[in-house]
Structure 1
Amino acid sequence: MKKHLIIFTAFTTIIISSCKNKPKNEESEVITPEEADIMESDANFPEVACYRYASEKDTVLLQMEKINNEVAGTLSYNYFEKDKNDGTFEGTMVDDTLFADYTFGSEGSVSVREVMFIKKGNKLVEGFGEVEEVDGKMKFKDNSKFILNNAMPLAEINCDEN
């Protein structure tokens, strides 16, 4: 019995002494202002841009945020004597070309179609091509054959102008 009491006391002493260990003081890392600037510039902040085409009767408005090659935003078509299309898009920017899925409401229903815009200077020009329906979405048949609508370029605007 005395042997068990010694083992129990030794075991309890070890546990209690290990619980009383004070945590080691870790040195704080100091970041210089130059390092902070580098870290901030490396972070992925979205690039925000807005584009608009406006004539006497027609308006197209595109607002987008871009992080790396990923792009998302809103797109609105308001053509004279046609139903207005308002929606959102998500896609990618490959060099100067935006490919996206545009989800929009028109005539009381929701539809999805691919859209394509090419950036020319401070303008976006929409491209049109032959489409087909795939899984309920209108998709381009060939992503290399487009007709550009140069008659309706969307000019870059200050996003506060909307």
Structure 2
Amino acid sequence: MKNLSLFGLLLVCVSFGSCNKNQKAADAQTLNEKPIEVKCYKAIYEKDTINLKINTLKNNKVSGDMVMKFADMPVKDGKIAGEMRGDTLFADYTFALGANTFKNPIAILKRGEELILGNGQIETYLGASYFAKGKPIDFDKVKFKFTAVDCIEKK
């Protein structure tokens, strides 16, 4: 019986490892895929600025870059990866500060030609952050509304 329990535990661990490898491979493929369309946006609120580059890929997938420059805070320069669901982009924003890497969920609503960065309750479970189920994401009382700008290549 003890051997059966150990075998079951081993099987569960291997299954989780396989899923994680498959997700990492899918993420890598999304980042390397050639975009169908590339658009750039900028949002300014008081002394804070967010620059956003969105690469539209096949199957409603999206990748891109986001740079957050907030007054009196370190610059957050990272990548986004996610998908469009209707008129809303749900993505993860991954960035590094010092030796630490952070991955936060973002939701961006497309309303006409404007993009709106939503505010929602974020929960963390086993180190993963996500929007709380059953809690709405607010797109009305927000700080950051993006307008289209010309894309400028990083040097």
Q: Same fold (TM over 0.5)?
A: yes
Unaligned runs of 5+ in 1: 1-43
- Structure 2 counterparts to residues 100-139 of structure 1, below 5 A: 100-139=91-130
Aligned-residue identity in percent: 29
* SS, match of residue 74 in structure 2: coil
Aligned to 1:86: 77
RCO comparison, higher one (Cα < 8 Å, 6+): 2
Deviation of 1:54 (Å): 2.8
CA separation of 1:132/1:45 partners in 2, compared to 1, >3 Å: closer, same or farther? closer
Deviation of 1:95 (Å): 1.4
Deviation of 1:143 (Å): 6.6
Give the TM-score taking structure 2 as reference length. 0.68
Higher-Rg member (1/2): 1
What letter corresponds to residue 154 of structure 1 in structure 2?
F
Give the TM-score taking structure 1 as reference length. 0.65
RMSD: 2.2
Structure 1 residue runs of 4+, over 6 Å off?
A: none
Aligned to 2:42: 52
Moved more, 147-156 or 93-102: 147-156
Aligned equivalents of 1:141, 1:159: Cα separation in 2 = 33
Unaligned runs of 5+ in 2: 1-33
Aligned equivalents of 1:49, 1:113: Cα separation in 2 = 22
Aligned to 2:5: none
